[in-house]
Amino acid sequence: MWLPVPDFSVGVSYATRINMGRLASYDRDLLAAGGGRIDVPAQYGAGLAYKPVSVSTIVADRLHIQHTDTIIGSSRGFGWNDQNIARIGVACDLGTQWTVRAGHNHGNSSFGSAVVAQNVLSALGNAKAASAGFTYRLSGGSELSVNYEYSSTRRPSDPARAPGSTCLPAPR
């Protein structure tokens, strides 16, 4: 992190791809395309923080997650797109014990309509979300934090299915 002036900071981050070991219980079904492997993608980002007054901080950052270099992003896997995510937020201290926070993030679509069936249970369905939370500082240095996130509803469609039909294959 770089502090060019006292109330303004700049930061960058990078995490390499993590090659995970084989998950034997999943190598014949969920992760069959990757031989039971599901690697963590590389990611990089940059952000800014500004403190207009001593009790509040305004932040903005951009994050890129490179799914397409892993089995998750391949057409044999889940078909996840690389993610470009922009986030903004604010944190405000209300005295010495309370901090409240709010934020919003917006990213591109995680996957296209051609891979809806593979991703019906995926947590990557929504590209936009708003969040709010607080922290209460307890005695002895402990903290209690509560956060809530709301994601707008997204109903992806599978072009191979008839309108109004379910994303899941019919039972046989």
Q: What is the pTM of this model?
A: 0.74
Do the domain assignments include residue 164? no
Do the domain assignments include residue 88? yes
What CATH number is attached to the domain comprising 119?
2.40.160.60
Coarse DSSP helix, strand, coil percentages of the chain, rounded to the nearest 5 percent: 10, 45, 45
**Residue-wise pLDDT tens digits, 23-67:** 777 777 767 777 777 788 899 999 999 999 999 999 999 999 998
**Residue-wise pLDDT tens digits, 64-84:** 999 888 877 776 777 788 889
Q: Please count the other Cβ atoms lying within 10 Å of the Cβ belonging to residue 66.
A: 14
Number of domains in the chain: 1
Do the domain assignments include residue 157? no
Using the 8-state DSSP alphabet, how is residue 167 labeled?
A: S
Structural domain that includes position 114: 2-151
Do the domain assignments include residue 21? yes
Please name the residue that has the structure tokens 């679509």.
Answer: 109
The Cα–Cα gap between 133 and 15 comes to: 27
